[in-house]
Amino acid sequence: MKKETGMTYPAARKELEMLVEELERPDADLGQISKKVKRALELVTFCREYLRKVRKDADTILDDFESA
Amino acid sequence: MMEKLDLVDLQRRLEDAIHNAFEEPCWIRAEINRLVVSNGHCHMELVQKDKKTDRLLAKAQAVIWASTYALLEPFFKTSTGMNLEAGLQVLLCVEPRMHPLYGLSLVATNIDPSYTVGGLELERKKTMDRLDREGITDMNRDLPFPDVPLHLAVISSKAAAGYQDFADHIKTGGFAFRTVLFPAVMQGEGSPPSIIRAMEKVLEYGMDFDLLILIRGGGAATDLHSYDNYDLAAHIAQFPIPVITGIGHHRDVHIADRVAHLALKTPTAVADFLNAKLAEEEQKVILILRALEKAVHNRTDNEKQALEYLLKDLESHVTWALRRHEHQLELLEQRITNNNPLTLLQKGYSITLAREKALLDVKELSKGQTTTTVLYKGSFESVVETIKKK
């Protein structure tokens, strides 16, 4: 996945949803499909990483707080 | 010719005359003006005064011989709570006796203590009536009693055991009492003016005393007549600070006790009362502190509990929010996969494009037209030969 500085989760989600909708359209431009699928999967990975990080951070903060 | 007599003959004749005139002893009412005990014999000067003018109407010497006095003195004391002494109104059984050498004397053989008690009671009633009339009886008692009486003005005689008892007992409570002693004569005729002077000094002392304490020296309850004195009672009643008495008697309630804010029996009782009062006040403060502590604990406990719940909520919110997002992502991913034509091509399907658009209907085709077919791997072009309409 290419580095995208300043990418936020909501922006990534929005783009992802748009891509999925485009892919679902029957008149989708076939020439663009592979590119779009690739991009969509990148976004999925980004979002997944992001959520994993959020969960890890939250767990760490809560654990630190409770053991304090 | 008038008879000439020797003095001794006259005196003997008087002796006989008196003896004959008073064969039986008689009861007389009189006031003891002076009283001296010598060799066990009690010598008294009895007087009677005009009730209105106080002028002396009669005066006589009386004696109680030692053998009688040894019985009468304790009898009188146990019956009245007072010593037989000057200033008292008494009812005495006397035999008038004339002695040629010592003159007329009344030999007292009995005394009726109830007369003295009744007289004093009457006198007290008169004094109380006067205080009532003047509207000052309850003035001291109506003063509010201080919650924490620590500054004490004490009127007593310094050397007396009663004051020492008080001073010793007041320390046992461990409270920070500040006592200032104003010495006064606590007994006998001179005591009312002496106590009143001491009371004036208390007011001039320049310290805000919480209480004035009047305590008598202790020992035998002798001549407490002063505590029925009108002037002293009036001063106590109108004193601007609550007065406690500890005069140390058991039998009578004196006027001073009746007008004081509180009358206790002994100096020790006064000290114990004050210690108890402060202990009670201390207890109140301790209870308030406990209640405060409990309230703070309850409050913080409640807050802590609420925080615990919030924290739990927070954790589950985070978990649920993340799960929801992950789930949505999964769905999106699924949709990508479903719509990825490559997935279909991989299974052997192919797409035919005409003019760069996916071909869905043969109507869009014409004979001889070139189309492109995309396979999983690569593509090829073909020319339309036959069109079949279903």
Mean local confidence (pLDDT), B248-262:
82
Does B374 contact chain A (CB < 8 Å)?
yes
**pLDDT band at residue A56, thresholds of 50, 70 and 90?**
confident
Residues B242 and B364 in one domain: no
Asked if the Cβ–Cβ distance from A62 to B351 is below 8 Å, we say no
Residues B167 and B64 in one domain: no
Domain contains B169: yes
Q: Beta-carbon neighbour count of residue B317 at 10 Å?
A: 11
Chain A residues touching B336 at Cβ < 8 A: 19-20, 23, 37, 40-41, 44
Q: Is the pLDDT score of B82 beyond 80?
A: no
Q: Beta-carbon neighbour count of residue B90 at 10 Å?
A: 21
Q: What sign does the dihedral B58-B59-B63-B69 (CA atoms) show? A: positive
pTM: predicted TM-score of the whole model, two decimal places: 0.55
Residues counted in chain B: 390
CB A21 within 8 Å of CB B338: no
B165: nearest Cα among B157, B259, B242, B194: B157
Q: Is the pLDDT score of A65 beyond 80?
A: no
Identify the closest residue of chain B to A9 by CA–CA distance. B325
Give CA angle at B199 (B250, B146), nearest 5°.
75
pLDDT for B249 equals 64
Asked if the Cβ–Cβ distance from B333 to A44 is below 8 Å, we say yes
Domain contains A20: yes
Q: Is the pLDDT score of B84 beyond 60?
A: yes
Domain count, chain B: 3
Residue that terminates a domain, selected from B50, B79, B111: B111
Residues B91 and B148 in one domain: no
Mean pLDDT for all residues in chain B: 88
Mean pLDDT for all residues in chain A: 82
Query: Could you tell me the CA-to-CA distances from B350 to A45, A47, B360 in Å, in that order?
Result: 29, 32, 12
Three-state SS at A61: helix
Q: Give the range of the structural domain holding residue A45, as residue numbers without chain letter.
A: 9-67
- Tens digit of pLDDT for each residue in B175-191? 999 999 999 988 877 88
Domain contains B242: yes
**To the nearest whole angstrom, how far is the Cα of A1 from the nearest Cα of chain B?**
16
Domain contains A44: yes
Q: Quick one: B289 exposed, middle or buried, by C-beta within 10 A (0-12, 13-18, 19+)?
A: exposed
Q: List the CATH number of the domain containing B84.
A: 2.40.50.140
Domain count, chain A: 1
- Tens digit of pLDDT for each residue in B260-297? 999 998 899 999 999 999 999 999 999 999 999 898 88
Domain contains A13: yes
Identify the closest residue of chain B to A24 by CA–CA distance. B339
Domain contains B388: no
Q: Is the pLDDT score of B371 beyond 70?
A: yes
In the numeric block, the tokens 């030999």 are attached to B107
Domain contains A55: yes
Asked if the Cβ–Cβ distance from B340 to A17 is below 8 Å, we say no
Q: Is the pLDDT score of B235 beyond 80?
A: yes
Q: Is the pLDDT score of A7 beyond 80?
A: yes
- Tens digit of pLDDT for each residue in B344-359? 788 888 888 888 777 8
Domain contains A1: no
Residue that terminates a domain, selected from B78, B111, B144: B111
Domain contains A28: yes
Q: List the CATH number of the domain containing B260.
A: 3.40.50.280
pLDDT for B251 equals 62
Q: What residues have CB less than 8 Å from B254, skipping those under 6 apart? A: B124, B224, B227, B228, B247
Three-state SS at B186: coil
- A19, A34, A51: residue with CB nearest B326: A51
- Tens digit of pLDDT for each residue in A34-52? 788 888 889 989 988 988 8
Q: Give the range of the structural domain holding residue B98, as residue numbers without chain letter.
A: 7-111
- Tens digit of pLDDT for each residue in B191-234? 899 999 999 999 999 888 999 999 986 555 556 778 889 999 99
Q: Can you tell me the distance from the alpha carbon of B122 to that of B124, in angstroms, rounded to the nearest whole number?
A: 5
Query: Kind of pairing, strands B89-99 and B26-38?
Result: antiparallel
Q: What ipTM does the predicted assembly reach? A: 0.80
Q: Is the pLDDT score of A64 beyond 90?
A: no
CB B181 within 8 Å of CB B170: no
Q: Can you tell me the distance from the alpha carbon of B202 to that of B189, in angstroms, rounded to the nearest whole number?
A: 22
Residue that terminates a domain, selected from B225, B251, B279: B279
Asked if the Cβ–Cβ distance from B322 to A40 is below 8 Å, we say no
In the numeric block, the tokens 């007087």 are attached to B47
Q: Can you tell me the distance from the alpha carbon of B163 to that of B62, in angstroms, rounded to the nearest whole number?
A: 38
pLDDT for B365 equals 86
pLDDT for A3 equals 52
Residues B178 and B247 in one domain: yes
Domain contains B317: no
Give the HSE-up count for residue B210: Cα atoms under 13 Å, Cβ half-sphere: 13
| Least confident residue range of A3-17, A25-39, B57-71, B307-321 | A25-39
Q: How large a percentage of chain B has pLDDT more than 70?
A: 97
The 8-class DSSP code of residue B265 comes to S
Mean local confidence (pLDDT), B35-49:
94
In the numeric block, the tokens 């005066």 are attached to B59
For B114-159, the DSSP string reads HHHHHHHHHHHHHHHHHHHHTT-TTTTTTSPPPSS--EEEEEE-TT
Domain contains B204: yes
Chain A residues touching B358 at Cβ < 8 A: 27, 30
Residue A48: its H or E element = helix A30-67
Query: Could you tell me the CA-to-CA distances from B334 to A48, B151, B280, B337, B355 in Å, in that order?
Result: 14, 90, 80, 5, 30
Domain contains B314: no
Does B344 contact chain A (CB < 8 Å)?
no
Chain A residues touching B332 at Cβ < 8 A: 16-17, 20, 40, 44
- Tens digit of pLDDT for each residue in B86-120? 888 999 999 999 888 888 999 999 999 989 888 88
Residues B274 and B140 in one domain: yes
Does B134 contact chain A (CB < 8 Å)?
no
B184: nearest Cα among B209, B159, B219, B152: B159
Phi, psi of B134 (to 5 degrees): -80, -5
Does B353 contact chain A (CB < 8 Å)?
yes
pLDDT for A5 equals 66
Residues B71 and B162 in one domain: no
pLDDT for B27 equals 95
pLDDT for B223 equals 64
Mean local confidence (pLDDT), B13-31:
91
Structure tokens at B67: 């053998």
Asked if the Cβ–Cβ distance from B342 to A31 is below 8 Å, we say no
pLDDT for B219 equals 52
| Strand ranges inside chain B, DSSP E | 26-38, 41-49, 56-64, 89-99, 103-111, 151-156, 178-183, 211-215, 243-246, 262-264, 351-354, 357-358, 370-374, 379-383
B277: nearest Cα among B289, B260, B264, B292: B264
